Amino acid sequence: MIICKNIKSLQEIIDSYRLRKRKISFVPTMGSLHEGHLSLVKKAKGKNRIVIVSIFVNPNQFGVNEDFKNYPRNANKDIKSLKNLSIDIVFIPYEHEILKYKTPKLKLSRLSIERILCGKFRPQYFQGVGSIIIKLFDIIKPNYAYFGEKDYQQYYFVKLLSTKLKLNTKIISCKTIRDNFGIALSSRNLYLNNKEKKVALNIIKALRRTKRELSNQWKPKAIINKNKMILLEKGVKKIDYFELRSETLKKNVKKNGKSRLFIAAFIGSTRLIDNLKVN
């Protein structure tokens, strides 16, 4: 496995692989890798594929009062986990080099989905994600890129962006990996103490209960409101949103239409997100 920190040397390595007609699978991450990230990496491996994983804690996607400084960083452990999966390249770019890298041919556009769900509560988030994703895509020019359904809105945002910018990268979604209790794995779970972990379990419980109740009775508004109350009673501090949306993130969902429940909630000072496919 090659550990690469510098854009030019990464591109030289990629060019040599491309000459040998190898396809490139790319998994962008912010590190502190867990089984959720590693499931993307496993899916990215394939016949005649080169797998590149990036580790970059993107400062642009954090708001001023958010956890950029404290975000967990475990580069040595991450490198070990990736070595165990025998991937080809881990790209750990220098922050200044990525931030000053220009993409004159790719201009980040604003999409309407940036104003809903997480975008409503973290207005800088999607522009921040997009600003770095287009740089990484421009540097690597992957054939395939893998994103987790755990961050479904982010996956869908990148998919739309890739279509809009006519990138030749196929965006592939990967199922959410959960712990034995059902909590979606997240680097931010490291912030939770034992008491908070028990409270966090109520998020997936609420999603599953809501899904069950919707299958008995299609009254989304009333059922979601009831389950929001239960979450607050169980110790969740604040709910940013708890919504039913279509797979394309539209608000109006028909009873048998493809849909998902989306939630963002604070457990103490930790903001967690999760979602569950309904139909």
> In the complex, which residues of this chain contact ligand AMP (CB under 6 A)?
29-30, 36-37, 39-40, 147-148, 150-151, 174, 176-177, 184-187
CB-nearest residue to ligand AMP: 148
CB of 160 or CB of 185, closer to ligand AMP: 185
Give me the least distance between CB of 150 and ligand AMP, in Å please: 4
Active site annotation includes 37: yes
d(CA 90, CA 55): 7
Long-range contacts of 228-237 (CB under 8 A, 24+ apart): 230/202, 230/206, 231/202, 231/203, 231/206, 231/265, 234/199, 234/202, 235/199, 235/202, 235/267, 236/199, 236/202, 236/203, 236/265, 236/266, 236/267, 237/265, 237/266, 237/267, 237/268, 237/269
Q: How far is the CB of 162 from ligand AMP (least distance, A)?
A: 14
CB closer to ligand AMP, 174 vs 206: 174
- Taking the complex as a whole, the smallest distance from the CB of residue 129 to ligand AMP amounts, in Å, to 9
Nearer to ligand AMP, 119 or 148 (CB): 148
State how far the Cα of 167 lies from the Cα of 36, in Å rounded to an integer: 26
CA gap 99, 135 in Å, rounded: 9
Indicate which residue of 10, 26, 37, 117 is catalytic. 37
Q: Closest CB to ligand AMP among 167 and 214?
A: 167
As a dihedral over the C-alpha atoms of residue 78, residue 83, residue 89, residue 95, rounded to 10 degrees, the angle is: 20
Pair of tokens at residue 96: 């200044």
Neighbours of 154 (CB within 10 A): 20
Shortest Å, Cβ 199 to ligand AMP: 18
Bridge partner list, 23: 49
Min dist. Cβ of residue 53 to ligand AMP (A)? 9
Q: Which is nearer to ligand AMP, 88 or 151 (CB)?
A: 151
* Tokens standing for residue 118: 């997480």
Which amino acid is residue 15, in one-letter code?
D
Lookup: tokens for 230: 């239960």
Residues carrying an active site annotation = 37
